[in-house]
Amino acid sequence: MDPVSIVISRQATGPTPPTAANAGAPNALRTRVSEVVAQMGPPPWSKRIIADERQLVTLIASAPGGGNRPHWHREFDEWWVVLAGRLQWELTGGVVVHAAKDDIVWVPRGAVHHILNVGTEMSLRLAVAMPPANHYFSPCEQCGYTDDGPREWCA
Ligand SMILES: [Zn+2]
């Protein structure tokens, strides 16, 4: 398999005021999670918070019983910070990770991750992925979830 390269086209040449920041998402100097939640309304939704050549950070809300489409990544490890609710990660190989507010979950490349809100409240997780963030669908080997959606996509 060919190695994957990234290109960093914009480089700072010295100390620089943060003029690259946006007034709002993505890449605001400060994001208040409570304001995003109020703007986005009831789940499910996702909001890109930070995006550059090396990171894609997304705030994701799920309703009880909701979650993602199970998938795996070829060239990056993904991790999340749980900000609210109770979530479960079903992973390749029979591993289940339970997480709640303030927990950090890390999943290495290749492991299918099927994320479910197993609580009774809206869940919030901050997902940290790396561009180009290609997603490869794979049915959940644990719960059998599958669907007819796209087999590959880029987030
Ligand atoms: Zn993923």
Could you read off the pLDDT of 33-81 as tens digits, one per residue? Answer: 999 999 999 999 999 999 999 999 999 999 999 999 999 999 999 999 9
Between the CA of 122 and the centroid of ligand 1 the distance, in Å, is: 20
Element (H, E) at 129: strand 123-129
Question: What is each CA distance from 150 to 31, 55, 116, 135, in whole angstroms?
Answer: 31, 23, 19, 10
Could you read off the pLDDT of 108-142 as tens digits, one per residue? Answer: 999 999 999 999 999 999 999 999 899 999 999 99
- Return the CA Rg of the chain: 17
pLDDT at position 2: 86
Between the CA of 133 and the centroid of ligand 1 the distance, in Å, is: 8
Between the CA of 80 and the centroid of ligand 1 the distance, in Å, is: 10
Which residues are 29's β-sheet partners? none
Per-residue burial over 35-51, b = 16 or more CB atoms within 10 Å of its CB, e = otherwise: ebbeeeeebebbbebbe
Give mean pLDDT, residues 16-40. Answer: 96
pLDDT at position 1: 82
pLDDT at position 32: 97
pLDDT at position 116: 98
Give mean pLDDT, residues 137-149. Answer: 96
The yes-or-no verdict on residue 147 having pLDDT over 90 is: yes
Residues with Cβ within 8 Å of 64's Cβ and at least 6 positions away in sequence, in order, are 117, 118, 119, 120, 121, 122
Residue 129 in tokens? 């992925």
For residue 5, how many other CB atoms are within 10 A of its CB?
5
Between the CA of 121 and the centroid of ligand 1 the distance, in Å, is: 22
pLDDT at position 51: 96
For tokens 């999670």, what's the residue?
Answer: 33
Distance CA 103, CA 94 (A): 20
Between the CA of 32 and the centroid of ligand 1 the distance, in Å, is: 24
The yes-or-no verdict on residue 4 having pLDDT over 90 is: no
pLDDT at position 155: 83
Between the CA of 104 and the centroid of ligand 1 the distance, in Å, is: 14
